[in-house]
Amino acid sequence: MDKKYPSNIVYHDKTNNSKTKNKSSFLKSLITTLLIVFAFRTLVGEPFHIPSSSMLPNLMAGDYILVSKSSYGYSKYSMFFPLPDYIKGRLFAKLPARGDVVVFRNPKNDKINFIKRVIGLPGDKIKVIGGVVYINNNPIERLQLDNYIANINSNITQYKEVLESKKSYQVIHEYNDDVSVSNTGIYTVPENNLFVMGDNRDNSMDSRFLDDVGYIPVENLVGQAKMILLSFGFNSDDFFRFDRFFKKIV
């Protein structure tokens, strides 16, 4: 005689139930991780790759840097994905200091990130004469250092610039001080804008080129470059540039 089971009892498949719980747990963990990454990259910091030599000798192509998002407040460019154009301004806005190294969106093409050094603040008058940068008619102190050795066939003139705040950093001039980028007219920095230059003064597309970059709206700031996280060369001899790992950016 067959054994009968009460019709009001439901028998569960424990195997399927366990699989469902595992899937649900995985999805929750994935969403939580994505939210943490989103919050960190938007509010705290984001890694960027240096693709060119415009910031030599301080930053090299192949450096991976950490950019602080909170240093100057937040705008639509703080996000790592596009936001609508009608979103304007900055939240918790703070101006950079002269000498800060900043990442920003090129105002002529805001799909592209640039990295340069802040030289002029709103209202400043900037000019370059014989390679010497003048801020409001006062020259930035420039001390000549040993040549920068880019390779065995290239010794490049190197200087230390010292700002009034005593912040200092190194710059290089690959050519002589008679070239056009070393002798400019006067740039008057508009309100809510910045004037930026690359540390590789003769090989940098920056605010000196008004048609290509020009003045940088404060809104276009992504953040302040703080540290080199990792650095990789382009040949087997210096593929891992360990001496640059976790180096502070000045």
Q: What's the per-residue H, E or C state across the chain?
A: CCCCCCCCCCCCCHHHHHHHHHHHHHHHHHHHHHHHHHHHHHHHEEEEECCCCCCCCCCCCCEEEEEECCCCCECHHHCCCCCCCCCCCCECCCCCCCCCEEEEEECCEEEEEEEEEEEECCCCEEEEECCEEEECCEECEEEEEEEEEEECCEEEEEEEEECCCCCEEEEEECCCCCCHHHCCCCEECCCCEEEEECCECCCCCCCCCCCCCCCEEHHHEEEEEEEEEEEECCCHHHCECHHHCCEECC
Residue 68 forms part of a structural domain: yes
Residue 93 has a pLDDT of 83
Residue 149 has a pLDDT of 86
Residue 77 forms part of a structural domain: yes
CB contact at 8 A, 93 and 77: no
Q: How many domains does the chain have?
A: 1
Question: How far is the C-alpha of 61 from the C-alpha of 115, rounded, in Å?
Answer: 12
Kindly list the catalytic residues: 54, 116
CATH number at residue 182: 2.10.109.10
Residue 39 has a pLDDT of 56
The tens place of each residue's pLDDT in the chain, 250 residues long, gives 455 545 554 444 555 666 666 667 766 666 766 565 555 566 556 889 999 999 999 999 999 999 999 899 988 888 766 567 767 778 878 999 999 999 999 999 988 999 999 999 999 999 999 999 999 999 999 999 999 987 766 779 999 999 999 999 999 998 877 678 899 999 999 999 999 999 999 999 999 999 999 999 999 999 999 999 999 998 767 889 999 999 999 9
Q: Which domain holds residue 198?
A: 38-248
Residue 63 forms part of a structural domain: yes
Residue 199 has a pLDDT of 98
Residue 10 forms part of a structural domain: no
Stated pTM of the model? 0.81
Residue 199 forms part of a structural domain: yes
